[in-house]
Amino acid sequence: MDSIVTLKEITKTYRAQKAVDHVSFSINKGEVVAILGSNGAGKTTTVMMMLGLLAPTHGTVQLFNKDPRSKAVREKIGAMLQEVSVMDGLKVKELLQLFRSYYPNPLTVEELINLTGLEEADLKKRTEKLSGGQKRRLGFALALAGNPDLLFFDEPTVGMDITARGRFWDTIRTFAKAGKTIIFTTHYLQEADDSAERIILFNKGAVVMDGTPQEVKQKLSKKSVSFITDDEVPLKVYEQLPKVTHVYRKRERVYLNTDDTDAVIKALIKEDYNMSHIQIEQGRLEEAFEQLVAGREVL
């Protein structure tokens, strides 16, 4: 397999804090990869290091087996970062032309319009006059301008309405079919599941899972028995019940994670706890994800 992104033991430290901590992975040509994690997990810092815009404190990053800052690499990559900041004073068309001129085989302005939802009328506008949504589309067009082999998107769908989101993912699918490699960050497990074939899950600066959406969901998924109670039974007591792997409370509801919901229900009834609204869940992914990012042990 052709590895076109290779991170070896990268760490980024800000004063005493490790924003990214010994992260290693490679990405092969043609993969669509979601870097998933909550706020502050280290996603943006990792993307910035992959792009060569931030130097790792330790470790190495290579794109196409080269330094990400080299000209040969620059010509093959495109990126849309969280804050789309573009040069003021230029018209949209002029900026697109300028970006196109940096690359050996750029897409045409017409192709960029069709792929991103920018409108003909937007081309004549000065960039500082664009709305937030139009700026996002321009950022998307600038990322695609060079017809790059490797694309990075940091939280691409933030601030996009439903139509813009749909168009964005359609275009990503088109690029993926053409064999391009795509890396995007997201907070949302659902978005990663819908759009990526591989999820690299970050938590507190480290990679805690790396696999297909199916694999990640299987690992995260936990069955649970939950109920509402106004008893003051300490959670530790429920933890002692047979087959219970983890106990937590969310508002008035107590959750008991287990692989054997029947055994747990039998034990709860035998102990005659005060319970109402008993629910059996076969692994709520978003819930497991929330627990993981809240620092609880779910793996």
Ligand X SMILES: Nc1ncnc2c1ncn2[C@@H]1O[C@H](COP(=O)(O)OP(=O)(O)OP(=O)(O)O)[C@@H](O)[C@H]1O
- The residues binding ligand X (CB under 6 A) are 14, 19, 37, 39-45, 187
CB of 18 to ligand X, least distance (A): 8
25 or 273: CB nearest ligand X: 25
Strand partners, 27: 5
CB of 216 to ligand X, least distance (A): 17
73 or 200: CB nearest ligand X: 200
Contact 67, 73 (CB under 8 A): yes
CB of 294 to ligand X, least distance (A): 15
Contact 238, 215 (CB under 8 A): no
Tell which residue, 293, 200, 202, 206, has the closest CA to residue 21.
206
CB of 53 to ligand X, least distance (A): 12
37 or 106: CB nearest ligand X: 37
Q: Taking the mean position of all CA atoms in its chain, how far away is CA 221?
A: 18
CB of 121 to ligand X, least distance (A): 32
23 or 256: CB nearest ligand X: 23
41 or 208: CB nearest ligand X: 41
CB of 256 to ligand X, least distance (A): 31
CB of 26 to ligand X, least distance (A): 20
37 or 68: CB nearest ligand X: 37
103 or 188: CB nearest ligand X: 188
